[in-house]
């Protein structure tokens, strides 16, 4: 963080301080709206505050408005209405200062295929004004971090999708910005590469970097994020820590696997919905059968299994467990978050 930068932030108005943490806000949003030229109302009245140092997760189904929101924060789109402050600077009045004080890893990789891995990172160092004397060390450090030391002198056009993603992460972080936007940074990466990036994100967060993450992987959000917000149709519909959100689901989840296809799953769901002992239950049809979330799932789970069997349905397995973020997402949005498969066979 530059001196100028921290100085400006020290002078922030009290209203931009997150009340819960008393830390200054890295991002402060009031009534943000963004309507595209074709009339699409992508973001409609978003309010949020992300305090400095937080690892914040922004979740939502495809088309919910996540990338649009991030692009406003990164000053690539101007708000239609509302006020947005990033690192203490207004997105409309001070876009240049914001760009200097953030890192942005977009969904599409932003590297030059004709340059080598080292050259791409060195180029980003120049673009972001990393002091000349420290550039070589920074290039080596980042190559090591994203596991590209062995291919440092190869052109990026020869890289797999996962390698390009890792190189892109390195270029977004060269200037050690106090706030980093990561738009699905690990999509398509295999578990090893994903873990390696997680470790780095956690490390820079522990050292004080604020992180604003969108992800397709709810497990990733659960492991990394202090707090989450869920956006649906351009509006924030839930927010809290992963534990808070899981508690809000209420009770436990009974997963029942069934033989016999869709018809059997629908019948089982109707039986579970009408089951007296589960008056507070949420029932969802899953790929394998049904899942029932209820305060009394543990006490009355076996009664439901008997009722299903008496109705002629074949139960092939069952499990009672605590809610996960997938259950939270399902309860809030009514749909599972589709995960994009990793690039099979392209990782190294
Ligand atoms: P994804 O996970 O698929 O990236 P998202 O939550 O990031 O989705 P956005 O990309 O912000 O969603 O899109 C929000 C809405 O705005 C969608 O209806 C999308 O079709 C629309 N949209 C996005 N970009 C444009 C554009 N340039 N012009 C018009 N509409 C757009």
pLDDT tens sequence across 172-220: 989 989 999 999 998 888 888 788 888 888 988 999 999 999 988 898 9
Domain 25-240: top CATH class: alpha beta
Give ranges for CATH 3.30.70 in the chain: 250-333
Close Cβ partners of 46 (under 8 Å, ≥ 6 residues apart): 29, 31, 32, 33, 65, 69, 82, 231, 234, 235, 236
Quick: pLDDT tens for 290-334: 999 888 888 899 999 999 999 999 999 999 999 999 888 888 877
- Residue 15's pLDDT is what? 34
Residue 105's pLDDT band, with cuts at 50, 70 and 90, is very high
Is residue 75 predicted with pLDDT exceeding 80?
yes
Average pLDDT over residues 224-244: 94
Q: What is the pTM of this model?
A: 0.82
> 65 in ligand 1 pocket by Cβ < 6 Å?
yes
Contact 56, 211 (CB under 8 A): yes
Residue 339 Cβ inside 6 Å of ligand 1? The answer reads no
**Looking at the domain 250-333, which fold is it?**
Alpha-Beta Plaits (3.30.70)
Residue 83 alpha carbon to ligand 1 centre in Å:
20
* pLDDT at residue 32 tops 80: yes
Quote the pLDDT of residue 338. 59
Q: Is the pLDDT of residue 346 over 50?
A: no
CA-nearest residue for atom 21, ligand 1, is 42
Pocket test for ligand 1, best of 33, 59, 66, 183 (most atoms within 8 A of CB): 66
Q: Is the pLDDT of residue 145 over 70?
A: yes
pLDDT value of position 311: 94
Minimum-distance ligand 1 atom for the alpha carbon of 234: 14
CA 268 – CA 289 distance, rounded (Å):
8
Going from the Cα of 69 to the center of ligand 1, the distance in angstroms, rounded, reads 10
Give the pLDDT band of residue 10 (cuts 50, 70, 90): very low
Q: How far apart are CA 170 and CA 141, in angstroms?
A: 9
What separation in Å is there between the alpha carbon of 43 and the centre of ligand 1?
Answer: 9
Distance 284 CA to ligand 1 centre (A): 27
Please say whether the beta carbons of 43 and 65 come within 8 A.
yes
pLDDT, the chain, mean? 87
Q: For the chain, give me the number of helices (H) and strands (E)?
A: 12, 14
* Closest to 229 in 3D by CA, of 214, 218, 220, 240: 240
pLDDT for the residue 281: 84
Report how far ligand 1's centroid is from the alpha carbon of 317 (Å): 39
| Distance in angstroms (rounded) separating the CA atoms of residues 184 and 70 | 11
Most confident among 12-26, 176-190, 329-343 (mean pLDDT): 176-190
Q: Contacts for 72-79 with beta carbons within 8 Å, 24 or more apart?
A: 72/32, 72/34, 72/43, 73/27, 73/98, 73/102, 73/181, 73/212, 74/98, 74/99, 74/102, 74/104, 74/181, 75/99, 77/34, 79/32, 79/33, 79/34
Residue 50 CB neighbour total at 10 angstroms: 26
């Amino acid at each position: 963080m530059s001196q100028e930068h921290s100085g400006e932030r020290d002078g922030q108005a009290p209203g931009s301080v997150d009340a819960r943490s008393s830390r200054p806000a890295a991002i402060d949003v009031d009534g943000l709206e963004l309507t595209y030229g074709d009339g699409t109302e992508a973001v409609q009245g978003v309010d949020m505050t992300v305090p400095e140092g937080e690892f914040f997760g922004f979740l939502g189904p495809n088309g919910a408005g996540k990338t649009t929101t991030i692009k406003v924060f990164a000053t690539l789109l101007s708000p239609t209405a509302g006020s947005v402050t990033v690192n203490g600077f207004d997105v409309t009045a001070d876009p240049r200062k914001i760009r200097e004080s953030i890192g942005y890893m977009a969904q599409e990789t932003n590297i030059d295929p004709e340059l080598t891995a080292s050259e791409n990172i060195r180029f980003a160092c120049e673009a972001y004004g990393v002091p000349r004397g420290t550039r070589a060390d920074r290039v080596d450090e980042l190559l090591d971090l994203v596991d590209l030391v062995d291919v440092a002198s190869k052109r990026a056009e020869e890289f797999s999708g996962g390698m390009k993603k890792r190189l892109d992460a390195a270029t977004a972080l060269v200037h050690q910005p106090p706030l980093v936007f990561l738009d699905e940074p690990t999509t398509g990466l295999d578990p090893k590469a994903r873990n390696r990036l997680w470790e780095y994100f956690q490390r820079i967060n522990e050292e004080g970097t604020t992180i604003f993450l969108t992800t397709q992987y709810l497990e990733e959000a659960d492991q990394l994020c202090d707090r989450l917000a869920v956006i649906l149709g351009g509006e924030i519909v839930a927010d809290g820590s992963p534990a808070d959100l899981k508690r809000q689901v209420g009770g436990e989840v009974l997963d029942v696997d069934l033989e016999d296809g869709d018809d059997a799953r629908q019948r089982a769901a109707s039986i579970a919905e009408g089951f007296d002992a589960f008056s507070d239950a949420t029932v969802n049809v899953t790929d394998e059968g049904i899942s029932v979330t209820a305060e009394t799932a543990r006490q009355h789970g076996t009664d439901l299994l008997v009722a299903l069997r008496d109705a002629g349905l074949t139960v092939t397995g069952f499990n009672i467990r605590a809610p996960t973020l997938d259950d939270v997402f399902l309860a809030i949005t009514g749909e599972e978050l589709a995960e994009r498969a990793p690039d099979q066979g392209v990782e190294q």
